[in-house]
Amino acid sequence: MNKESVRQLIVAQLDAACQNQARAAALARDEATHEESRPESKYDTHSQEAAYLAEGQARLAAELAAARGAVAALPLPRFTAADPVALGALVELEQPHGTAWYFIGPAAGGTSVQIDGHEILVVTPASPLGRQLMGAAVGAAIQLPRGRGRILNVC
């Protein structure tokens, strides 16, 4: 499986999410600053709530942009069967109900993409699964919520 293609799909998905989030932040900012959002009394909190929403939307947009940058800049080393799993690895994991593919990324955990008929889920080293995978090698046993898994392949 081509890791560069996987990364391009992840970056494209993050680009789309970033654009959507930027639009949501702009709408929230417009709502917060619109003339009709001015408080009518000291008990009217609509404008304050709109400002909090705008701030949260802008923060999320910035986090998505940072994640996109981190994934785009990530080196994609080649791994052999003897190499330990590290950032940029694409890991095939045997699980109780089949196999699954994971991309070890610096950010954007939980993002999933489809390539060559496989779903690939991004996990970060900070996640429970990512902590187990980091440093493991082909054949290593991994504890999963629904049983044990085994690393079949690292690319």
Residues 99 and 130 in one domain: yes
How many CB atoms are located within 10 Å of the residue 46 CB?
Answer: 14
Q: pTM for this one?
A: 0.85
Residues 67 and 12 in one domain: yes
pLDDT tens column, 86-138 = 999 999 999 988 999 999 999 999 999 999 899 999 999 999 999 999 999 99
- CATH value at residue 94: 3.10.50
How many CB atoms are located within 10 Å of the residue 118 CB?
Answer: 14
Residues 62 and 29 in one domain: yes
Residues 67 and 107 in one domain: no
Q: Is residue 79 part of a domain?
A: no
Q: Is residue 78 part of a domain?
A: no
Joined together, the tokens standing for residue 154 give 């690292």
Residues 19 and 47 in one domain: yes
Q: How many domains does the chain have?
A: 2
Domain hosting 107: range is 90-154
Residue 137 DSSP symbol: -
Whether 47 and 32 have beta carbons less than 8 Å apart is answered as: yes
Whether 99 and 93 have beta carbons less than 8 Å apart is answered as: yes
> Between 3-33 and 46-73, two packed helices, what is the crossing angle to 10 degrees?
160
pLDDT tens column, 33-79 = 777 666 666 666 677 777 788 888 889 999 999 999 999 999 999 99
Joined together, the tokens standing for residue 44 give 């009217």
Q: Is residue 80 part of a domain?
A: no
